Structure 1
Amino acid sequence: MEFEIWWLLGIPVFFALGWIAARVDIRELLSESRTLPRGYFKGLNLLLNEQPDKAIDAFIDIVKLDPETAEMHFALGNLFRRRGETERAIRVHQNLLSRPDLPPEQKVHAQYELGQDYLKAGLLDLEKALLADRKNVRATMLIGDVHLANGDVEAALLAWRRVEQQSVPHVALVAQRLMDGYKQVGRAQEGVNLLKTYMAEASSIDLLEVVFKAVIEIDGVDAAKQLVSEQLRRTPTLLGLDKLLEARLMDAQPQHWEELSMVKNLVHGYTQKLARYQCSQCGFKARQFYWQCPGCSQWESYPPRRTEELNVMN
C-alpha cells in the first residue's frame, strides 16, 4: 500500500516537470521566431495564398537584409523547379548569383542549381514539342541527352529507345548513345542484342559500325566477322565490305596480312567518298547528319542513311 501512495504522490511532480519543460520549449520557439525577419512571414503568407511572384520579391528582400538566409533561397528555388515553375526557379537562383557577398561554396551551389533549372526548362520545352508532333525524333533524342546530362542514364536509354517507335531508320542516329548508355549501367550485352534487333529491322552502315565495335569488344573477332558477313548478304555495300576486311585483318596470318591490308586501304579510300548524307532538297552532301541543311537551310531534309545505302535500296 505504501508503494502505491508514493506513486500517487509522484504523479503531480511529473506533471509539474512536464509543464516546466513545455514552457521552456515555448519560450525558445518564441525567441527563435522573433529573430526571423518579418519579410519571412510575409513571403510565406504570399506562398500560401498562391502569389509566388510576390513571395519571391519578399524573400529577395530578406536576403538583401540578411545574407544568412541564402539557404531559404535554395529551398524556394528547388520547390519551384519540382513544381515545373522553372522561370521562377531561375529567377531565384539568378538573384543569389548576383550577390557580391555570396561565399564561394554557395556560389558554386547556386550555379549548379541554375544549371538544373535550365535543364528542367529545356526538358519541358522538348516535351511540349513532342506533344505537338509525336514523330519528332530530334526532340526525343534531345530529351535523352538532357536526362544523360542530369545523370539519369536509365531515363536517357528509355527516351532513345522510343526513336524506334517514331522512325526505325533514325535508330542509327542514337545507336552510339544507346551502346554507351548500356555500357555505363553494366548491361553491354543487352545493348548489343537490342542493336542487332534494330539491324534486322532496318540495316544501316552507321548501326553496323556501332555494333561491330561492341561485338569485337564483348564477343571477339570471329563473332564480328560473322556479324558483318550476315549484314553483307542482306545489304551488299562497299562500306560493309570495308568492315569485313577490317575484321579479317585482326586475325590474318602474317603472309596474308600485307595483301589484305592493301585491299582494305583501297576499299576504305573509296568508301570515304560514299559515306555521305545527302539533302533531298538541294543535293548538298555532308559527312555528318544535319537536321537543317547547311546548303539550303531546309529542316529535316536529310534521310538518316548514307548515299551508298540509298543507291543500293533504289
Structure 2
Amino acid sequence: MPTESTFLLAGLFLLLAAAGWAMGRFGERDEEDAPPPLNIDYLKGLNFLLNEQTDQALEHFLNMVRVDDKTIETHFALGSLFRRRGEVDRAIRIHQNIIARPDLASEQRDQALFSLAKDYLAAGLLDRAEKIFARLAEGSRYQVQALESLCRIYEQEKEWGMAIDAGQRLEVLSGRSLALQIAHYYCERAEAAAAQNDFASAREYVKKAQSGRPRTMRGALTRAHIARDTGDNKTALKLYHRIIDENTYLIAEALPEIVAIYTREDATAELESALKSLLAKNPESSSLIAYTAIVNNLGGIPVIDDCVEQYMLNEPTLGEFIELQQLSEGNKNSHDSALAKVRSALSKLASATPRYQCQECGFSSQRLLWQCPSCRDWETQRPASRVQFDTILQHSITNR
C-alpha cells in the first residue's frame, strides 16, 4: 500500500508537471510556438511512485536536481521530505547540489543554506549547523530562525555566554521577550561558577538573571544555595523561606535545605514555628511537605511527622499495599514504630516512580530539570505531591 510519503511525492510531481504545462500553455510565447509537452522525467518519477518503487523514484528525482533548473522549489520540498524520513544524508546531498549552482539567486542560496543547516542539526553535526546559522544570523531573511536555532545549539553545548548573546539579539529582532530564557542562561553560568568556588562571579550572574526576570525562582534558589555554600545560613534561610512562601511547588527543593540548616544550628523549635506558619497560610502545602519528607527521609520533627501521618491516612490507595490500622491504634511506641515502617515502605515506593513532570509535554524525571529535555521549554516541571500508586500497580500487573 502506498505510504503517506509516496502520495506526497506523487503530488509534488503532478503539481510541477501541471505548472510547467500551464506556463507553456498560457505564458507569453510566439504564436507559432506549440505548448511544451509534460516533462517526461516527472512522468517517469510518477510511474515509480504509482508502482510503489519509492526508492527508485527518489533516486530518479535526485539525479534531476543536477540538470533541471526550473524545479528548485520541488527540490527544496523533496529535501525536507528526506529529512523528515530520517534520510539526512540524501537531504544534505540535495541541498549541497542546489548551493553548488553558480547562477543561484541570493534568496534561494539563503534558503538552501538554511535547509542544509537544518539537515546538519538533524544529523547531530552541531559545529557545521552552527557555522551556517551564524552566517545567516548576520543578515538574511532567516535571521530570526537562525538565532532561534543558535540558542538551541548553545543550550545543547552548554555555551551559556554565547546563548545569552544570541538570545539578546533575538529579542531585538523578533520583538518578543525572552527574559525567562535568558535568566536561566545566567543561572546556568552562576551554577557553573559556584561549582568552581567562584562565588563572586556566581553572585553577579544571579544578579543579572534577577534584573531581567525579578521573580525568577531559580535565581532565588541559586542565590540561596550560594549563601548556604559560603556559610551565610541566615541569608540562606531567609531566601529558602521566601521561595516556599511564594512558590509551594519548590518545597521539594527548599525543605531539605531548611531542615538541614535548622538541624545543624539545633533550632528545631524555630523550624516547627516556620512550618506551622507556612501551613496556616497554605494548608495545601501539607501533602508536598509529606511527600518531600518521605522521599528525603526527613523525620523526627513533629509538624513534618504530622503531615506524613495525615498523608498516609488520607491516601485511598495506600491500603492496597500496607495495613494502616496500626497508625490509629495502640500506644505511642507502637504508633511511632508503625509510622516508621510505613514511611520506609513509602520511601521505597516513591523511589520507583518519577518525582517531576513537565506541565507542557508530560516528560517525567527523578530530579528537577529547569529545561525539559523533551519540549525544551523552561521552568515547566512540577513535583509530584503523592506516591504514584496507580503507576506502581500498573507496572506490577504488566510484569506478572
Query: What's the TM-score bracket when you normalise by the shorter of the two chains?
Result: 0.3 to 0.5
Work out which structure has the larger RCO, using CA pairs closer than 8 Å and 6 or more positions apart in sequence: 1
**Larger Rg computed on CA atoms:** 1
Query: In proportion to residue count, which structure has more helix?
Result: 1
Structure 1 length-normalised TM: 0.46
Structure 2 length-normalised TM: 0.37
